[in-house]
Amino acid sequence: MSGAATANGLDLDFDLDLDLDAVLQGTRQAVEQAVELVRSLLEGPFRSWAKGDQSPVTEIDLAVDKLLGQLLPRVASAAWLSEETVDDPGRLQAALVWVVDPIDGTRSLIERSGQFCISVALCHQGAPLIGVVANPTTGERFYAAAGRGAWDENGRRLRVRATEASRPPRLLVSTRELARGLWNDLDGCAETEALSSLAYKLAKVARGDVDATMTPWTRAEWDAAAGDLLVREAGGSSVDIRGEPLRYNRSRPLFEGVVAGSPELLGRLATLRHELRSRKEKVLAQHTTRHATEAG
């Protein structure tokens, strides 16, 4: 495949021996096999436990990671970055890398609430080329290829919502952030709705279900990569909480927050971005002070 595409706000020239349409089709097929695996494992009980960083993981996360680790390299030979696989620094030397979250929204999976997704992206030189997000519970599918648009399971093209300046934008936000009061007292500058998975939030923004999504908290590349491409191919933009473009396959694969919506709306949300970033810093400072006091 030779040509140019626009991703992450940058024009990328590439010369790859890669059939983008075939890779998208192969990726979708691999994700469908992962969906069937999830559905079968959800028919019975499954184990869950806390990882070293205290985030939850289940045997379903690991089973999906293993399956996709077998299937996706057959679709395209690339390095690997996944939440559930030990990181290989060799990926930093690779032009192509699979960026995978086997289950984005593991807490929702454990609760069987249906707000979790499988998220798969193929990135080239820091930008997503292919993105697939699938919700095994609802049957929703979202997929995109750079320069070719974003689509749902019914073949309908996705478009971000055009937000009227006369009304507050409707935002999907983190369930935990909403519960902690991070979004309280915003003087009507936004309407909020809680949803667990970032990949699912981004897909819903791309489909125009809501105006935007925003979080000031650290998010991983695998949370955002596929959904980021969906938003961009649907005519939107994705940035971190500072307003910087999202880039992938970095040595520290974490973003300081994620914001996505129409380009016009992201400009209007700049003040809210700064406010939420400030609130996050205050929460972190209080947390540090409390632990220092307890230690003393």
pLDDT in tens, 184-233: 887 678 999 999 999 999 999 999 999 999 999 999 999 999 999 999 99
Concatenating the DSSP letter of every residue in 265-291 gives: HHHHTHHHHHHHHHHHHHHHHHHHHHH
C-alpha closest to that of 76 among 97, 55, 46: 97
Distance of CA 36 to the CA centre of its chain: 21
CA distances in angstroms from 130 to 108, 248, 279, listed in the order given: 25, 13, 34
Q: What does the alpha-carbon distance between residue 166 and residue 295 come to, in Å, rounded to a whole number?
A: 50
Q: What is the per-residue pLDDT for 255? A: 98
DSSP 19: -
Concatenating the DSSP letter of every residue in 76-145 gives: S--EEEETTS---GGGGG-SEEEEEEEEE-HHHHHHT-S--EEEEEEEETTEEEEEEEE-TTT--EEEEE
Q: What does the alpha-carbon distance between residue 191 and residue 209 come to, in Å, rounded to a whole number?
A: 13
Place of tokens 């057959």: 74
pTM over 0.85? The answer is yes
Q: What is the per-residue pLDDT for 12? A: 43
Q: What is the per-residue pLDDT for 37? A: 98
What structural domains and CATH numbers belong to the chain? 2-152 (3.30.540.10), 170-295 (3.40.190.80)
C-alpha closest to that of 116 among 95, 133, 94: 133
Q: What does the alpha-carbon distance between residue 168 and residue 147 come to, in Å, rounded to a whole number?
A: 31
Specify whether the CB–CB gap between 127 and 145 falls below 8 A.
no
Q: What is the per-residue pLDDT for 33? A: 98
Place of tokens 């500072």: 242
Which residues of the chain carry a pLDDT beneath 50?
A: 1-14, 291-296
Query: Which tens digits make up the pLDDT trace of 132-163?
Result: 999 999 999 999 999 999 999 999 999 999 98
